[in-house]
Amino acid sequence: MIHPVQCRCGAFRARLEGRGPHNRVICYCADCQAFARALDKASETLDSQGGTEVVQVMQSRLRLEQGEEHLAVLRLSESGMLRWYAACCSTPIGNTMFNPRMSFIGLVHTCLDPARMDTDFGPGVAVANVKSALGEPKPQTRGFLGVLVRLVWIMASGYIRGSWRGSPLFDESGSPRAIPRTLTAEELANARRNP
């Protein structure tokens, strides 16, 4: 399988190669909502209740093709996840941990091909972190245990096999290829405001 990964304007392009364990999940957490709002991409990224669909895969399956210079990283706090995006058009790309040995990336649907989601990742979509969902009634949690088991498998197999070293997002020393920018307290407060 080769699934295209690209920003909205097309300046950044990558591909996801091969098959392997993955999760397809809609996350309603406040942090995913804040990420979309910080990039001014809430209308393109969030569903009507604030959910972001992500596909979690091993980072070593990701291959950069063009526009690596457009990759940028945002952190909501000093200890927060690395939230990758294409600076050329502020398209959210994906979320990783700061430690490259935790080798998954949650690719945000905005950089994936919507016509191929079911074919490449299956029609089953889990639902998580519903307490932060907007409005009532809240969505129902679905498939969380399976998501957790597969995520642990993705990280454990990447660590044991050493494939975490093949991430295109971190250099040989384990540092992110782009310097993370942490939101100021004011920026974070604005990003956390519900519409």
Note the pTM of the prediction, 2 decimals. 0.95
Asked if residues 93 and 169 have their Cβ atoms less than 8 Å apart, the reply is: no
Mean of per-residue pLDDT scores for the chain: 95
In this structure, of 63-72, 122-131, 155-164, the range with the lowest mean pLDDT score is 155-164
- pLDDT > 80? residue 49: yes
What 8-state DSSP symbol labels residue 51?
A: -
> Which candidate, 79, 46, 84, 47, places its Cα nearest to that of 179?
84
Q: Which residues contact 195 (CB under 8 A, 6 or more apart)?
A: 42
Which stretches of 110-181 are DSSP H helices?
117-121, 144-161
